[in-house]
Amino acid sequence: MTPSTEQNRNPWDHEVDVLVIGTGAGAMTAALRAHDLGASTLLIEKTDRYGGASAMGSCLLWIPNNHLMPGVGIPDSREEAWQYLQGTSGDVVSDDRLAAYIDTSPIALKYLERETHAEFVAQPAYPDYYPRIPGSKPGGRSIEPAHFDARKLGSDFLNMRDQNLQMQVMGRLALTALEAQKVMTGQPGGTPLFLKLILKYAFDLPFRFQSRRDRNLAMGNALIGMLRLSLEDRGVPLWLNAPAKELVTEGDRIVGVVAEREGRQIRIKAGQGVILAAGGFEGNQSMREKYLPKPTLTDWTCANKHNTGDVINMGHAAGAALDLMDDAWWGPVTVAPGENFARMFVIEKSLPGCILVDKAGNRFVNEGAPYIDIVNAMYAADTPETPCVPAYMVFDATYRRNYICGPMNPASTQPDWMLRKLFRSGYVKRAKTIAELAGQLGVDAAGLEATVARNNQYAVTGKDLEFQKGDTIYDRYYGDANVEPNPCLGPIAKPPFYGIEAQPGELGTKGGLAVDARARVVTEAGEVIPGLYAIGNCSSALMGRSYPGAGATIGPAVTFGYIAANDAMDPA
């Protein structure tokens, strides 16, 4: 698609200073900041729900040296943050972009807490993902939204995109990340907390007769709710069902957008800038096949399938360079029958008594490693001779009794007979012996038996001699502290034995429009395209090919939304 030019320009249907395309956390932050700097601002959303992938996910923010860290007793510094990001991102990302993030992210966080309804809670025990890299911290850099009462939004709450089922207990109850860890890993106090949340949900009357959604919002729904209420306070308009179709140029400058609204095309002028914040291309199968490692399917994403790379293609058509298009925020996923989105194995894989194996029945990775590393290992190990896509999660009756796995709650609360459909569909395999399970999975039986035997030895000694599962503070974060000597290692010995396919999925794609340290979109020659900004997953990832900590997607989206608004209103 070729951008419209000045020669065929029609009169404008709508004019603002700053136009934001997208309605996720980064987009809303950009709109709020632009408004507070004096801009007339508009957000447009192509679907009938606002919030994007942000609303669906955990919405933690990874913010180094943030103002909440001293309160939980964890010191940090610019120098340590720089050292750690240099160690994780390598030379993939420019120093000036990293510096802009390190310097501005704490400022953007303070702005949100001071000027909006946003409220955040420090995660004192959620460590950086690579604790062996100098400059890492044992916690504090990952922060999360507090609970938010959706009643403050009135009926507009139901226009918010639903939280991903993975982020809810029983597909309904909203938990913060701190609460989820306590409930799902069997920590003391988890059961009373769970019961309290059930009662709060059940007695939310009369709303229980209107919707099954929990109005005690957490994670992504909570942050989007806070920011949406802040936009409403300011009277900033947000248009649903208004997809952007084309960028409009005057000379070399982007001056507006052609969009659709109420069945007709409209031209929206943006005098100070257009900020693209509409996500990646995870929902576009043809783009996945063009850019990502294969095999790849839209069914394997945990993100918003309406993210189809529209604004990436529009920016590219306007001369923007592309970067990191072959990468994503990877994680092993399970695709349960009847569900619209994949579920990522985040907690499950680190717990004791499970392993991930390839077609030969061999382990190929430390299951407790950061989820991005699991999928990178899957693709690296995948060969015609020994396929590793899909991989297989294998566990026993003890694991099944104690822990959640994908859509299955622990057997202690949801026994197998309550999950007949999952077993009949073939989604979960169940067998009396490891060899029988291998046959059902299509995995080499001798290989799987030998792998399980080695795992059981490691569970006794507490030392994984092959992949060192449980050796780091990150591995152990989602381990079971009641299991010794290693909270991430347990025997696979008690029948029946279970197996589930694990696919190479993601939380969103990483590749997008190349940008500079001010979030301005640039060409292949590194020249700025005036009037055009990109943030979040439609821009190339600030973190490069790594994933330094929980919230490393939303943290940069929010920060560079703040930066983009600042620059649009004061480009000098």
| Number of domains composing the chain | 2
CB 408 within 8 A of CB 429: no
Q: Is 504 helix (H, G, I), strand (E, B) or coil?
A: strand
Q: Which amino acid is at 442?
A: G
404 falls within a domain:
yes
> Based on the domain organization, do 399 and 341 belong to the same domain?
yes
pLDDT of residue 556: 98
Q: pLDDT by residue (tens digit) across 42-77?
A: 999 999 999 999 999 988 999 999 999 999 999 999
Report strand pairing: 168-169 vs 428-431: unpaired
Q: pLDDT by residue (tens digit) across 202-230?
A: 777 888 778 878 888 899 999 999 999 99
Residue 146's Cα: distance from chain center in Å?
17
97 falls within a domain:
no
Question: How far is 132 from 569, CA to CA, in rounded Å?
Answer: 41
Domain around 283: 6-24+236-327+508-569
Rounded mean pLDDT of the chain?
94
> Based on the domain organization, do 338 and 276 belong to the same domain?
no
Assign residue 433 the CATH number of its domain: 3.90.700.10
86 falls within a domain:
no
Distinct helix (H) and strand (E) counts, the chain:
16, 23
> Based on the domain organization, do 428 and 553 belong to the same domain?
no
Q: How far apart are the first and last CA of the chain?
A: 31
pLDDT of residue 189: 74
> Based on the domain organization, do 368 and 387 belong to the same domain?
yes
pLDDT in tens, the chain (572 residues): 444 544 455 589 999 999 999 999 999 999 999 999 999 999 999 999 999 999 999 889 999 999 999 999 999 999 999 999 999 988 899 999 999 999 999 999 999 999 999 999 999 999 999 999 999 999 999 999 999 999 999 999 999 999 887 777 767 777 777 777 776 666 777 777 777 777 887 777 888 778 878 888 899 999 999 999 999 999 999 999 999 999 999 999 999 999 999 999 999 999 999 999 999 999 999 999 999 999 999 999 999 999 999 999 999 999 999 999 999 999 999 999 999 899 999 999 999 999 999 999 999 999 999 999 999 999 999 999 999 999 999 999 999 999 999 999 899 989 999 999 999 999 999 999 999 999 999 999 999 999 999 999 999 999 999 999 999 999 999 999 999 999 999 999 999 999 999 999 999 999 999 999 999 999 999 999 999 999 999 999 999 999 999 999 999 999 999 999 999 999 87
CB 510 within 8 A of CB 540: yes
> Based on the domain organization, do 384 and 429 belong to the same domain?
yes
> Based on the domain organization, do 253 and 399 belong to the same domain?
no
Instruction: Give Cβ neighbours of residue 477 (< 8 Å, ≥ 6 apart).
Output: 125, 126, 127, 181, 350
362 falls within a domain:
yes
The token duo for 131 is: 């604790």
pLDDT of residue 201: 78
> Based on the domain organization, do 290 and 253 belong to the same domain?
yes
Assign residue 258 the CATH number of its domain: 3.50.50.60
pLDDT of residue 1: 41
Domain limit, last residue, from 489, 506, 523: 506
> Based on the domain organization, do 478 and 540 belong to the same domain?
no
Beta-bridge partner residues of 323: 512
pLDDT of residue 186: 64
In 3-state terms, the chain is what percent helix, strand and coil (to 5)? 35, 20, 45
417 falls within a domain:
yes
Q: Which amino acid is at 138?
A: P
> Based on the domain organization, do 388 and 464 belong to the same domain?
yes
pLDDT of residue 479: 95
> Based on the domain organization, do 343 and 489 belong to the same domain?
yes
pLDDT of residue 180: 74
Domain limit, last residue, from 506, 539, 559: 506
38 falls within a domain:
no
Q: Is 45 helix (H, G, I), strand (E, B) or coil?
A: coil
> Based on the domain organization, do 527 and 537 belong to the same domain?
yes
275 falls within a domain:
yes
Question: How far is 304 from 335, CA to CA, in rounded Å?
Answer: 15
144 falls within a domain:
no
Question: How far is 161 from 295, CA to CA, in rounded Å?
Answer: 28
Question: How far is 172 from 174, CA to CA, in rounded Å?
Answer: 7
> Based on the domain organization, do 269 and 288 belong to the same domain?
yes
Domain limit, last residue, from 506, 523, 547: 506
pLDDT of residue 185: 67
